[in-house]
Amino acid sequence: MAVSDHRQQNDGRSPELPEVIVLNAPLILTMFEDQLSSKFHLLKALDSELPLHQFLAVNAQSVRAMLCTVNGPPVTADILQLLPSLRLIVTTTAGINHIDVSECRSRGISVANAGDVFSADCADYAVGLLIDVLRKISVADRYVRKGHWANLGDFPLGSKLRGKRVGIVGLGRIGIQVAKRLEAFGCSISYNSRKKKDFVEYPFYANVCELAADMDVLIICCALTDQTRHMIDRKVLLALGKEGVIVNIGRGAIVNEKEMVECLVHGEIGGAGSDVFENEPDVPKELFELENVVLSPHLAIFSPESLEDSRDLVIANLEAFFSNKPLLSLQDPFF
């Protein structure tokens, strides 16, 4: 197959538009492909009959920019080796654990993420999960729908949010917005992060286990890295205690899921709200039977409004790159 024939993708679009290779199908591409395709020539791996490594080899010498997301093949050193001309990766997510950042650094490839686009929605969702777990909203809804209110009488009371001591693990863009929201509810905020933040007065804990021991709630907002994988383990959960609640809107593997399930099943922590899991979309079936657990299918960052903002940021980053202008959301602190 000739390179020019392959790049044409049978869609009639001119390859004179700046080329962007797409490894998977980001939701913004599904929703806004016309807007993206009007500005860039999209080389979509999913549309090719070639195996991925052959598809990449066909486009190796020309493609300089990539669009990707977390749901799909990770951007590994092997993939980057096949794209020697690549100089930019734009991901539609705030997290970049699906990209080999060290390899990008060594190859001079910039990484642009979602920046602050999803922070407000994610913070809202974290607070929503916490309120749901504490006040038993989802359980109460099921209680009413099943006719139990009329047949069995009053529903067990939940716990108030006001006055709770909340520990935020990862006081970044999302974590700081979670903190501000919970302050408005009358919660006291402390945090654990890679380093102390000079711009806040919240108490800082260098040790996440010590943070858990002093809190009623832990909210996980940090990125997944080699250092944070399974950082929330049985020791941390036991420090949180039998009345403690954990909420995870970061990444599933930050929590040792097996140990969390065991703690919940044995009543060693008070409850959990999770939007993320270790092996999505598979969720431990033990959680389905627990009424002190609220589950969500990795939706915290998404709303129609935030997806439109994400589309605009992706386009702006790609246009800036192809115009030799500064990127709008160059990922720190790696570059």
Please identify every residue annotated as catalytic: 251, 280, 298
Query: Alpha carbon of 214 to those of 64, 72, 168, 191, 238: distances in Å?
Result: 49, 39, 12, 11, 12
Instruction: Look at phi and psi of residue 313 and say left if phi exceeds 0, alpha if psi is from -120 to 50, else beta.
Output: alpha
Residue where the block lists tokens 């080999």:
100
Taking residue 184's Cβ as centre, other Cβ atoms within 10 Å add up to 9
Distance CA(150)–CA(164), nearest Å, equals: 32
DSSP letters spanning 126-191 = HHHHHHHHHHTHHHHHHHHHTTHHHHH-SPPP---STT-EEEEE--SHHHHHHHHHHHHTT-EEEE
Q: What's phi and psi for 272, nearest 5 deg?
A: -150, 145
Q: Computed from CA positions of residues 209, 211, 214, 220, in that sequence, does the dihedral angle turn out positive or negative?
A: negative
Residue with tokens 């006291």: 188
Distances (CA, A) of 136 to 127, 139, 277, 280, 285: 13, 5, 21, 25, 20
Checking DSSP bridges between strand 165-169 and strand 88-91, what pairing results, if any?
A: unpaired
